[in-house]
């Protein structure tokens, strides 16, 4: 558990970030005998100190460093300094996540081919497909103990789900169930079944929900091959005259800088920090940032087409009781351009407590129209919309030189404009979501705008050709052989599904590749 | 809530004047007109604090939430640093109310008319700061959660697995 590697040990693989991308990669590599130093910007929290209180938990584990926004998306207006809701700490955003674990649909690996030319969108086929990913998805589902896969049963439906299901069935939806969730639907040897506590977003105090932090990292540490260095934020990746990366400069808890030498560097800081790190690593040899010969680093930022629909009824629902997101309607996930847009979306149950509901139901609103909705909180049901958004080159993470962080480095700016396809899809989803609740007698429905992004994708996209993207089909950068990207920023396109299962499957696959290339002496 | 500990109902009635229909103010305090609670004010004028409390209720009106919770949500503005901007903001609010033919914001009888006054200054930084602050100041008070039926954390009670996570009867 307490292995520690020398900072001058240039044989280690350095993984930056310990979420589902970096955490799984680090642990898998360690299990294959590879020595790994994982640098994690945040601290270590777990079931023993998670706080089931929305704002207190947000303050405890969320990433709160300075960020800015631009563009016409509503988040830039409502939450200008908080483009994304993600975690700083061991386990990354899988501490906050709800656990919805879905595979991409087959056609979603090939959207350029299937959707054709969409004006303004930088659609591109992934260099991998459903067949390549199938065995890795299976491994990921086993690792996350995903319900309704591998013979595992589904979670029981809570009150929020029952309203949702009844409305969906009345509307004629067929593919409706309590989801494929990385939440235990029974007791396992080391992990207890979901106790329906209802604070999945605040960190599961029972450990019933999978987290890279307490499920994955300890397995890697137990091998004696993985050292996790907490409160260690990577600032810059260094390289030698041949253009190979050689190590990582990071700052410790006191702001003191160190260099960890490395044979290979894997970047997994999520889709805002990963491109930021590559851009901040610019040098005279790579003036536009590392791995950026295509100019694509930071571009094609995707966040999923999202929104929520809440509804009030004349009788109690108590939606906050039980699993936050165990409920899904998949009928609209198909690609069916007759609806007026390409791609599709999922509808998933969602509940927020009163503190977050006040902040997110209709940001900026006030007066009785707003408060009379909150007065009906006990009678409220809710769902989240998550659909495929169009990649656009102009949606991007770039460096904001006007605002420096605590280490004196430029902070990230997140620019985003909705594509007309995103807007058409959102409007369709608002209508269908409201119809679900109207079918069971809703008194009022609320088309709620997007929250700060929980799904951040695409800023180091995977491409067959070097000029189209940043990494190849293994997540290895086109430009630098011993530099990898291991998180959701690899996504070529976003698909309609929550992304984490795919991030984990890619990490498992990448670990295999790195280990075998290392043993062959190729890197 | 009783931030002025020594205040008795008699003292209160003796020393205070009505401020709007629900609040009374006196030297250095704002209180409920039935003396159920009182809030000591050290930096702001008492009338300013009373106006702030009314403004908070008018922004996020919940008829089931007592004034003391609105008072708790804005009492943080009673500091040396906030004094300048808050006095200035409330003066602007009163000027807006007077401009619409009312004696002051607090003396405006109908909520509808007060809301019209608020709408006229909705885009001001002062309004936005007060409104934004209430999102956590009001709704993150654990004591108001029961008014909404919200039960807060459930881990200490073993979650809802045996306590009604699926007890809905009407669907
Ligand atoms: C409230 C919420 C609910 C969600 N629900 C779902 C869901 O139901 N299903 C789903 O699929 N997804 C969900 N997600 C998204 C999911 O959490 C992410 O997709 C996933 O965690 C991304 O994994 P990652 O490893 O790429 O990044 P992260 O998990 O964000 O991990 C990145 C890590 O890198 C660290 N880091 C960043 N920069 C540096 C640096 N410079 N140096 C060192 N460390 C650094 C961060 O501190 C962090 O720990 C949810 C997210 C949130 C916030
Ligand atoms: S509802 Fe289940 S998974 Fe969610 S926090 Fe509670 S016990 Fe954990």
Q: Are A246 and A10 within 8 A, CB to CB?
A: yes
pLDDT band at B3 (very low <50, low <70, confident <90, very high): low
DSSP symbols for A346-383? EEEE----HHHHHHHSSTT--SHHHHHHHHTGGGEEEE
State whether B154 and A317 contact (CB < 8 Å).
Answer: no
What is the three-class DSSP state of A431? helix
What spacing in Å lies between the alpha carbon of A158 and ligand 1's midpoint? 26
Closest atom of ligand 1 relative to the A102 alpha carbon? 11
State whether A317 and B62 contact (CB < 8 Å).
Answer: no
**Whether residue A319 has pLDDT greater than 80:** yes
pLDDT at A371: 98
Residue range A303-320: mean pLDDT, rounded:
98
Out of A249-258, A415-424, B1-10, B12-21, least confident range: B1-10
Residue range A371-376: mean pLDDT, rounded:
98
**pLDDT tens digits along A209-261:** 999 999 999 999 999 999 999 999 999 999 999 999 999 999 999 999 999 99
Looking up tokens 């043993």 gives A519
pLDDT band at B8 (very low <50, low <70, confident <90, very high): low
Distances (CA, A) of B154 to A1, A146, A200, A381: 33, 24, 12, 19
Residue range B112-133: mean pLDDT, rounded:
97
Of A482, A7, A44, the residue nearest A240 (C-alpha): A482
How far is it, in rounded angstroms, from Cα B91 to Cα A510? 63
A200 within ligand 2 shell (Cβ under 6 A): yes
What is the three-class DSSP state of A325? coil
Residue range A36-54: mean pLDDT, rounded:
97
Around A222, how many Cα atoms within 13 Å sit in the side-chain half-sphere? Answer: 7
Please, which residues have CB within 8 angstroms of residue B113's CB and are 6 or more apart in sequence? B100, B102
Q: Which residues pair with A70 in a beta bridge?
A: A415
pLDDT at A445: 98
Average pLDDT over chain A, rounded to an integer: 97
Q: Backbone phi, then psi, for A335, in 5-degree steps?
A: -90, 115
Q: Is A519 on the interface with B (CB under 8 A)?
A: no
Strand-by-strand arrangement of the A483-485 sheet:
A226-229, A36-39, A13-16, A264-267, A483-485
Residue in chain B closest to A376 (alpha carbons) equals B148
What spacing in Å lies between the alpha carbon of A231 and ligand 2's midpoint? 27
Of A37, A135, A29, the residue nearest A519 (C-alpha): A29
State whether A199 and B155 contact (CB < 8 Å).
Answer: yes
Q: Are A246 and A57 within 8 A, CB to CB?
A: no
**pLDDT tens digits along A142-165:** 999 999 999 999 999 999 999 999
Please, which residues have CB within 8 angstroms of residue B33's CB and are 6 or more apart in sequence? B18, B21, B22, B23, B24
Residue in chain A closest to B136 (alpha carbons) equals A355
pLDDT band at A2 (very low <50, low <70, confident <90, very high): confident
Distances (CA, A) of A131 to A28, A427, A506: 22, 33, 13
| Torsion sign, CA atoms A412, A486, A38, A456 | positive
**Whether residue B9 has pLDDT greater than 90:** no
Proportion of chain A above pLDDT 70, given as a percent:
100
Which residue of A78, A159, A160, A437 to mutate against B (max B Cβ within 10 Å)?
Answer: A159
Burial class (CB in 10 A: 0-12, 13-18, 19+), A65: middle
pLDDT at B33: 84
**pLDDT tens digits along A439-484:** 999 999 999 999 999 999 999 999 999 999 999 999 999 999 999 9
Residue range A320-347: mean pLDDT, rounded:
98
pLDDT at B11: 67
Of A166, A159, A207, the residue nearest A183 (C-alpha): A207
**Angstroms from A386 CA to nearest CA on chain B:** 25
- All residues of chain B having their beta carbon less than 8 Å from the beta carbon of residue A197 are 153-155, 159-160
Of A101, A87, A79, the residue nearest A40 (C-alpha): A87
pLDDT band at A17 (very low <50, low <70, confident <90, very high): very high
ipTM above 0.90, yes or no: yes
Question: How many residues are there in chain B?
Answer: 171
Q: Which tokens hold the place of B148?
A: 């909404």
Which ligand is located closest to the Cα atom of residue A507? 1
pLDDT band at A401 (very low <50, low <70, confident <90, very high): very high
**Angstroms from A87 CA to nearest CA on chain B:** 21
Residue range A4-9: mean pLDDT, rounded:
98
CA-CA-CA-CA dihedral for B156, B158, B162, B164, to nearest 10 = 40
**Whether residue A411 has pLDDT greater than 90:** yes
The pairing of beta strand A13-16 with beta strand A328-329: unpaired
A39 within ligand 1 shell (Cβ under 6 A): yes
**pLDDT tens digits along B16-69:** 777 776 788 888 899 988 888 899 999 999 999 999 999 999 999 999 999 999
State whether A377 and B159 contact (CB < 8 Å).
Answer: no
DSSP symbols for B14-56? HH-EEETTTEEEETTEEEETT-S-EEE-SSS-HHHHHHHHHHH
pLDDT at B22: 72
pLDDT at B13: 63
Q: In chain A, positions 124-153, which contact chain B (CB-CB < 8 Å)?
A: none
Q: Are A300 and A458 within 8 A, CB to CB?
A: yes
How far is it, in rounded angstroms, from Cα A234 to Cα A232? 6
Looking up tokens 């044979």 gives A263
Closest atom of ligand 2 relative to the A202 alpha carbon? 5
State whether B155 and A206 contact (CB < 8 Å).
Answer: yes
What spacing in Å lies between the alpha carbon of A205 and ligand 2's midpoint? 7
Residue range A327-341: mean pLDDT, rounded:
98
């Amino acid at each position: 558990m307490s292995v520690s590697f020398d900072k001058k040990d240039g044989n280690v693989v350095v993984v930056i970030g310990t979420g589902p991308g970096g955490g799984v990669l680090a642990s898998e590599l360690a299990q294959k005998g590879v020595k790994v130093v994982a640098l994690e910007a945040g601290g270590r929290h777990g079931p023993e100190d998670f706080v089931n209180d929305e704002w207190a938990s947000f303050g405890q584990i969320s990433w709160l460093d300075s960020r800015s926004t631009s563009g016409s998306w509503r988040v830039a207006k409502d939450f200008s300094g908080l483009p994304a809701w993600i975690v700083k700490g061991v386990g990354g955003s899988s501490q906050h996540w709800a656990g919805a674990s879905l595979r991409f649909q087959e056609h979603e690996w090939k959207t350029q081919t299937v959707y054709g030319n969409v004006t303004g969108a930088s659609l591109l086929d992934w260099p991998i497909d459903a067949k390549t990913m199938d065995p890795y998805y299976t491994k990921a589902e086993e690792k996350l103990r995903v319900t309704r896969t591998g013979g595992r049963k589904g979670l029981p439906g809570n009150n929020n789900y029952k309203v949702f299901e009844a409305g969906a069935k009345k509307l004629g939806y067929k593919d409706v169930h309590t989801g494929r969730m990385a939440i235990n639907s029974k007791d396992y040897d080391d992990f207890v079944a979901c106790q329906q506590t209802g604070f999945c977003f605040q960190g599961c105090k029972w450990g019933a929900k999978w987290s890279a932090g307490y499920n994955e990292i300890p397995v890697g540490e137990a091998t004696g091959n993985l050292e996790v260095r907490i409160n260690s934020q990577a600032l810059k990746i260094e390289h030698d005259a041949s253009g190979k990366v050689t190590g990582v400069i990071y700052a410790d808890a006191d702001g003191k800088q160190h260099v960890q030498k490395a044979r290979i560097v894997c970047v997994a800081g999520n889709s805002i920090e990963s491109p930021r790190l590559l851009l901040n690593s610019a040098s005279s040899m790579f003036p536009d940032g590392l791995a950026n010969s295509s100019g694509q680093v930071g571009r094609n930022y995707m966040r999923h087409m999202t929104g929520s629909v809440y509804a009030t009824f004349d009788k109690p629902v108590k939606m906050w009781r039980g699993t936050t997101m165990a409920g899904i309607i998949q009928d609209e996930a198909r690609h069916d351009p007759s609806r007026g847009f390409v791609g599709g979306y999922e509808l998933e149950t969602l509940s927020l407590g009163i503190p977050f509901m006040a902040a997110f139901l209709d940001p900026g609103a006030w007066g009785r129209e707003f408060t009379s909705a909150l007065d009906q909180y006990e009678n409220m049901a809710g769902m989240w919309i998550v659909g495929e958004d169009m990649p656009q080159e102009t949606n991007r993470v770039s460096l904001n030189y006007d605002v420096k962080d605590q280490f004196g480095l430029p902070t990230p700016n997140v620019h985003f404009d909705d594509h007309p396809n995103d807007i058409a899809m959102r409007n369709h989803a608002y209508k269908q979501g409201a119809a679900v609740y109207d079918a069971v007698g809703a008194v009022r429905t609320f088309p709620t705008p997007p929250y700060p992004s929980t799904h951040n994708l695409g800023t180091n996209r995977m491409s067959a050709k070097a000029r189209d993207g940043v990494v190849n089909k293994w997540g290895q950068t086109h430009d630098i052989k011993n530099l990898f990207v291991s998180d959701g920023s690899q996504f070529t396109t976003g698909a309609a599904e929550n992304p984490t299962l795919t991030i984990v499957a890619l990490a498992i696959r990448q670990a295999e590749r790195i280990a075998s290339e290392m043993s062959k002496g190729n890197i | 809530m009783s931030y002025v500990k020594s205040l008795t109902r008699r003292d209160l009635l003796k020393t205070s004047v009505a401020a709007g229909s629900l609040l009374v103010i006196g030297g250095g305090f704002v209180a409920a007109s039935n003396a159920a609670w009182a809030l000591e004010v050290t930096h702001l004028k008492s009338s300013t604090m009373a106006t702030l409390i009314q403004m908070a209720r008018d922004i996020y009106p919940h008829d089931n939430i007592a004034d003391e919770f609105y008072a708790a949500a804005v009492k943080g503005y009673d500091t040396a640093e906030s004094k300048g901007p808050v006095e200035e903001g409330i003066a602007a609010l009163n000027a807006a109310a007077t401009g619409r033919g009312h004696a002051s914001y607090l003396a405006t009888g109908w909520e509808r008319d007060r809301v019209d006054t608020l709408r006229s200054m909705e885009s001001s930084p002062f309004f936005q700061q007060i409104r934004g602050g209430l999102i956590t100041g009001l709704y993150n008070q654990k004591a108001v959660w029961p008014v909404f039926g919200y039960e807060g954390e459930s881990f200490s009670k073993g979650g809802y697995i045996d306590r009604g996570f699926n007890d809905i009867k009407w669907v």
